[in-house]
Structure 1
Amino acid sequence: MAEAIETKDLTLSYGDEVIIDELDLIIPKGEITVFIGGNGCGKSTLLRSIARLLKPKSGAVLLEGKAISQMSTKAVAKQLAILPQSPIAPEGLTVLQLVKQGRYPYQTWLKQWSEEDEKKVTAALLATGIESLKDRLVDSLSGGQRQRAWIAMTLAQDTEFLLLDEPTTYLDMTHQIEILDLLFELNEKEKRTIVMVLHDLNLACRYAHNIVAVKNKKVFAQGKPELVINSELVKSVFGMECEVTFDPLFGTPLCIPHGKGRYILRQKPF
């Protein structure tokens, strides 16, 4: 397994509260890795640390074997892009202006906007299917369109590694699938290494090559969804009783929660 990102004895905290404790983790290169776990378990904190947005209390994050803490900000930005939860664009910003922000790491006093920058921005708009929206204000877009615009900005950054913190939050089912299909295609066609935090366990299983379950400040389990996800893990990590079967369309694990609800005997499937 080729290593893209690695943590060694990584401890993260907010003040005196330890969130992640001496965590060792390897994220494989060229795959989609999804962090899962209960609320407050440290998934987003871990992602922020990998992106060098949060300084470790101890330990290290390695990006292709190099300590990310010892790399310059621009060097990191040329290799790794992060899309945080619910990003907010400045008022009055157009889609094109937002996407152009992705080229900031390549700008210097001597080297301003170039033909290469223009190509990367155009390619990002095309890849996310929002070229026709480039003159629209970001504030005027639907939730799905807005999320595509932010992803286009990260694509314009032209990094091998994409980190996304709950990219489907607040989106309806249609837009969730659209965004995840887009990320899946980017991985398939361009072999980009994608690391995401997702709340929906079934969607995580469908799209991930590699699942990382976080619990008690540690990695509880890691591996292919079909080898990792079962009713015992769901009970341990989420405290929820469920049955785990197979998605009839994709063959990936499908979690069916126990709980109160109406039972209807149907003669035919939906």
Structure 2
Amino acid sequence: MIAMETKDLCLAYGEAIVFDELNFSIPKGKITVFVGSNGCGKSTLLRSLARLIKPKDGVVLIDGSEIAKLPTKEVAKRLAILPQGPIAPEGLTVLQLVKQGRYPYQSWLRQWSQEDEQKVTQALEATGMTAYAERTVDSLSGGQRQRAWIALTLAQGTDTILLDEPTTYLDLTHQIDVLDLLFELYEKEGRTIIMVLHDINLACRYAHHMVAIKDHAIWAAGKPEDIVNEEMIADVFGMECIISQDPLFGTPMVIPHGKGRKPNLD
């Protein structure tokens, strides 16, 4: 099944074309990861899926519906996006932040409900943030802040979650912590998760579906074990490497040659 897809999508900044006649799909209920070198267009593509960038031409579909024609609140009930490096207002508590995820469901006819309260409670529990509910977001560690923002997206109650580099600025322990959390959401709730990651090995470990982007075009898309090879790494990242197997998960593991010290291939 398909969660999202593009048809002849053209994205541009002014007169500069970023993507042209782009056609690809995102599988439903899986983890999809965009990879590629800096400036290749990963974040631009992710933002276009969330309707944050208006296409010059073509369409983005979510569950078969053209996202540009859906009311804003309807879009917010179908997908949630966590941008890179979000900033909360000073003094905002974790609970107040997470409650904002329920705003798409509020109206003058429907005020805060027991269901809203339940969704917020579940989001805090799922992310391990219940004990921090009354703490201000700016007082948390980097990993805790990221969990708070993910709790906000969970409270929104969408089937699809988009995240732009959710592990940026986190140390390795917190990177794994956040990615494990997202994987649990897939396993327990069948959420469709679409994210941009810089670390190719972590992308291979957590992705069911990978989209490799080069020069504002899709170089390849598919299972990591099907598309990650020495040619792909050389073309997409401009780096020589050998491909081994992750000893824990059996997924592709990229070992770069490097430019200073020569590898011992004996």
1:240 paired to 2:236: no
Counterpart position of 2:189: 190
Distance 2:25 2:85 in 1: 27
Question: What is the DSSP-based 3-state SS (H/G/I as helix, E as strand, rest coil) of the residue aligned with 2:95?
Answer: helix
Question: What is the DSSP-based 3-state SS (H/G/I as helix, E as strand, rest coil) of the residue aligned with 1:112?
Answer: coil
Q: Is the 8 A contact 2:11 2:18 kept in 1?
A: yes
Question: What is the DSSP-based 3-state SS (H/G/I as helix, E as strand, rest coil) of the residue aligned with 1:5?
Answer: strand
Counterpart position of 2:205: 206
**1:171-190 deviation line (CA, Å, top 9, x unaligned):** 00000000000000000110
Distance 2:66 2:260 in 1: 51
Counterpart position of 2:170: 171
Counterpart position of 2:38: 39
Counterpart position of 2:214: 215
The equivalences for 1:90-169 within 5 A come to 90-169=89-168
Q: Percent identity?
A: 69
Counterpart position of 1:48: 47
1:89 paired to 2:88: yes
Distance 1:129 1:112 in 2: 27
Question: What is the DSSP-based 3-state SS (H/G/I as helix, E as strand, rest coil) of the residue aligned with 1:78?
Answer: helix
Question: What is the DSSP-based 3-state SS (H/G/I as helix, E as strand, rest coil) of the residue aligned with 1:219?
Answer: strand
1:62 paired to 2:46: no
Q: Is the 8 A contact 2:257 2:263 kept in 1?
A: no
Gaps of 5+ in 2: none
**1:221-246 deviation line (CA, Å, top 9, x unaligned):** 00000011001000000111111110
Question: What is the DSSP-based 3-state SS (H/G/I as helix, E as strand, rest coil) of the residue aligned with 1:136?
Answer: coil
Distance 1:264 1:46 in 2: 36
**1:90-119 deviation line (CA, Å, top 9, x unaligned):** 111000000000000000012111110000
Q: Which AA in structure 2 matches 1:234?
A: I
Q: Which AA in structure 1 matches 2:205?
A: R
Distance 1:211 1:203 in 2: 11
Counterpart position of 1:16: 15
Distance 1:233 1:94 in 2: 44
Q: 1:261: Cα distance to partner?
A: 5.4
Distance 2:17 2:263 in 1: 46
Question: What is the DSSP-based 3-state SS (H/G/I as helix, E as strand, rest coil) of the residue aligned with 2:163?
Answer: strand
Q: 1:219: Cα distance to partner?
A: 1.1
Q: Which AA in structure 2 matches 1:90?
A: P
Q: 1:38: Cα distance to partner?
A: 1.0
Q: Which AA in structure 2 matches 1:225?
A: P
Q: Which AA in structure 2 matches 1:47?
A: L
Q: Which AA in structure 2 matches 1:105?
A: P
- How many residue pairs get matched? 264
Counterpart position of 2:224: 225
**1:62-103 deviation line (CA, Å, top 9, x unaligned):** 001110000000000001000000001011100000000000
Q: Which moved more, 1:20-29 or 1:145-154?
A: 20-29
Q: Which AA in structure 1 matches 2:150?
A: I
Give the 3 Å change call, closer, same or farther, for CA 236–263 of structure 1 in structure 2: closer
Q: Which AA in structure 1 matches 2:40?
A: C
Q: 1:216: Cα distance to partner?
A: 2.5
The CA RMSD over aligned residues, in Å, is 1.2
Q: TM-score, normalised by structure 1?
A: 0.96
Q: TM-score, normalised by structure 2?
A: 0.97
Counterpart position of 2:250: 251
